[in-house]
Amino acid sequence: MAEPASGRVWTSQGKQMEDLPDAAVLATRLKNTLIQYHSLEDDKWRVAKKMKDVTIWRKPSEEFNGYLFKAQGVIDDVVNSVIDHIRPGPCRLDWDSLMTSLDILEYFEENCCVMRYTTAGQLWNIISPREFVDFSYTVDYKEGLLSCGNCLKTFYFLKEGLLSCGISLDWSEKRSEFVRGYNHPCGWFCVPLKDSPNRSLLTGYIQTDLRGMIPQSAVDTAMASTLINFYGDLQKALQKA
């Protein structure tokens, strides 16, 4: 997939909507940050919740006073189908039980856009509905097992997959019925299983600042449960597709 074009967000009438960072620069920075998270050693993480097919870990975030969550599980479908259901688009609302609306505000390229979405209240509405405005970028990703010596790097195998990632923008237009949340760098790596290419290993990194007056314990409980439900909802949707 090509790098997104440089520039700012414009309306279909050619009027500038918001001042934004250079899209290509932001996309590259976002991708590199997610790869850095994906390279963290296992001992940096602590298990937050574990179900039969999905494990959730967490570690203190370096972006805000909260946690960076890692989720991982196997999905019974090919990489392209999995990412097509995760990336911004019409089918996301069909299966994601947390998301209540999604609008693409502007496209930079086919794989790069600004989106606005809202989420339902959680924990009996202790966490009220939220709104997010995110820059979203989907790109090819290659993952290998790497052996490093002084100057030697040897790939034992290479898996070609996709990375769909995003980060919230400081968007000035707000709606009074929602609290504006903020997603620090987050994303989903999806690669085929080595011995079963029709199945995919999906690994996500999420660090969401829900903002508002919410106990941190409630945020942590909601985030781990939400990620578990995300995998279940996604798998059911793919089975129906």
- Asked if residue 28 belongs to a domain, the reply is no
- Asked if residue 36 belongs to a domain, the reply is no
pLDDT at 191: 94
5 pLDDT band, cuts 50/70/90, is very low
- Asked if residue 9 belongs to a domain, the reply is no
Structural domain tally of the chain? 1
| Residue 138 vs residues 14, 126, 127, 168: alpha-carbon distances, Å | 25, 33, 29, 15
| Domain carrying residue 114 | 44-240
- When pLDDT is averaged across residues 60-64 and rounded to a whole number, the result is 95
- The better pLDDT of the pair 157, 59 is held by 59
Q: Mapped to the 3 state alphabet, what secondary structure does 1-25 carry?
A: CCCCCCCCEECCCCCEEECCCCHHH
- Asked if residue 29 belongs to a domain, the reply is no
Q: What is the pLDDT of residues 26-56, one digit of tens each?
A: 999 999 999 999 999 999 999 999 998 899 9
Q: What is the pLDDT of residues 209-235, one digit of tens each?
A: 988 777 777 788 889 999 999 999 999
Q: What is the pLDDT of residues 144-166, one digit of tens each?
A: 543 334 434 333 445 689 999 99
Q: What is the CATH number of the domain that holds 200?
A: 3.30.530.20
- Asked if residue 111 belongs to a domain, the reply is yes
- Asked if residue 233 belongs to a domain, the reply is yes
pLDDT at 232: 95
- Asked if residue 19 belongs to a domain, the reply is no
- Asked if residue 138 belongs to a domain, the reply is yes
pLDDT at 14: 39
- When pLDDT is averaged across residues 64-89 and rounded to a whole number, the result is 94
Give the angle subtended at the CA of 38 by the CAs of 34 and 41, to the nearest 5°: 140
Q: Which residue pairs from 138-141 have beta carbons closer than 8 angstroms and sit at least 24 positions apart in sequence?
A: 138/1, 138/83, 138/87, 138/111, 138/112, 138/162, 138/163, 138/164, 138/165, 139/1, 139/27, 139/31, 139/111, 139/163, 139/165, 140/1, 141/189, 141/191
